[in-house]
Amino acid sequence: EVLLVESGGGLVKPGGSLRLSCAASGFSFSSYTMTWVRQAPGKGLEWVSSINSISRLIHDADSVKGRFTISRDNAKKSLFLQMNSLRADDTAVYYCATYTSMGSLEYWGQGTLVTVSS
């Protein structure tokens, strides 16, 4: 069974930092491009960042470029999102997901809530 479990969310002050993790199991993690998607409270889905299987190709949304860094550790089957200079509009549930060859997001974690507030 494919399982993605996010962790690391919480309450942080504006300007602060947070590191999200996504632990993967049940599939060949090292073969997959992985993606972070977020959803602000009551709002729609927003793609955040993607990283290919060997960390050579990284794409970031303009809204997080220069502030967020995606990375992965294939040996530990883990995906990360380092979030710096956090702003109130970064408040959202953050999901990790697998990215297929057709670009669709097949498997999703349950999400972790990040709240940026003073």
Partner 1 sequence: DIQMTQSPSSVSASAGDRVTITCRASQGISNWLAWYQQKTGKAPKLLIHAASNLQSGVPSRFSGSGSGTDFTLTISSLEPEDFATYYCQQTHSFPLTFGGGTKVEIK
Chain residues that interact with partner 1, rule: CB under 8 A: 35, 37, 44-47, 50, 59, 61-62, 95, 100, 102-106, 108-111
State the amino acid at position 28 in one-letter form: S
> CA 92 to CA 115: how far, in whole Å?
7
CA-CA distances (angstroms) from residue 41 to 78, 88, 94? Answer: 26, 12, 11
In the complex, the smallest distance separating the C-beta of residue 31 from partner 1, rounded to whole angstroms, is 18
In the complex, the smallest distance separating the C-beta of residue 110 from partner 1, rounded to whole angstroms, is 6
Nearer to partner 1, 7 or 110 (CB): 110
